[in-house]
Amino acid sequence: MIYTVTFNPAIDYVVRLDTPLQAGTVNRAAGEDCVLGGKGINVSGILAQLDCPSVALGFVAGETGAWLERGLAAQGLQTDFIHLASGMTRINVKIKAGQETELNGAGPAIPPQAMEALQQKLDALRPGDILVLAGSIPSSLPVDTYERVLERLQGHSVRAVVDASGRLLANVLPYEPFLIKPNHHELAEIVGRALHGDEEITAAARELQEQGARNVLVSMAGDGALLLDETGAVHRIGTPKGTVINSVGAGDSMLAGFLAGYLQSGSYQDALRLGTACGSATAFSLGLASRKEIDLLLEQL
């Protein structure tokens, strides 16, 4: 089973304007949508499209949390959230008016007893299960939360997947995660130098592998992706043709597609191919990609 963790899920209120956003005056929307999300939830959403079951874990609070939970259930996602006694699940405002402007909520504080309740759920994971830790750590939790989670799971034979940036990612390498997914900019930040071309990116990925990561998946936006797998083999793929209209959730979609592809085929090359199709399909869509959109792009790769 795949378990995803979203520490600070959100309801994204997406507003579309036909004209540029004008500060200090009334702006009237041409359209609006509510999207239920957070990086781990996005991963679970694409996994559901691929008929790959998962359980979305994390924290919800207040009426917005109840709304989010009901909405995910309506989408067919299995959830097992910790319900916080105070606060409210955040609402993020995304204004699309030529340029995109975002106003992200802070979200509820997560007390130590709630984090312990989540950790107890993780203690029940079985050997071979996959745990996806994605995104930043809320300010109410210690900055070493990912490390604490993985340290407590040592010896459980759980395959950890981490999609984070900077020290948050670098610090989990000693726990030998099954997969990490930096983009090429995040990879350059971690190794402390600019990276130009596949050879330098591969060398940097190998440094992270030597520090503990089993597989390193490097996304490179329009240039495709590069995978350094646990055997030392390098896999490279481009992107299908299409117009990018949405960057939100594309990386999460790639991660979900990679995991589903690997579990279904046992092949890292096939996993990379499905992951690329999923990431691109979301980038070419207004929201998370559908199975039909994914399958159409898969034919191009």
Cβ-based neighbour number of residue 114 at 10 Å: 19
> 3-state DSSP call for residue 14?
strand
CB 145 within 8 A of CB 138: no
**Cα atoms in the Cβ-side hemisphere of radius 13 Å centred on 211:** 17
- Cα 115 to chain centroid distance, Å, stands at 20
Residue 252: active-site member: yes
Rounded Cα–Cα distance for residues 153 and 119 (Å): 9
Rounded Cα–Cα distance for residues 38 and 7 (Å): 8
The greatest distance separating any two alpha carbons of the chain, rounded to the nearest whole angstrom, comes to 58
Q: Which of 144, 252, 270, 295 is catalytic?
A: 252
Cβ-based neighbour number of residue 151 at 10 Å: 12
Q: Name, in order, each residue with C-beta under 8 angstroms of 299's C-beta and a sequence gap of 6 or more.
A: none
**Cα atoms in the Cβ-side hemisphere of radius 13 Å centred on 235:** 20
Token pair belonging to 204:
């940097």
Give the bridge partners for 163, in sequence order: 134
CB 28 within 8 A of CB 22: no
- Catalytic positions, written as ranges: 252
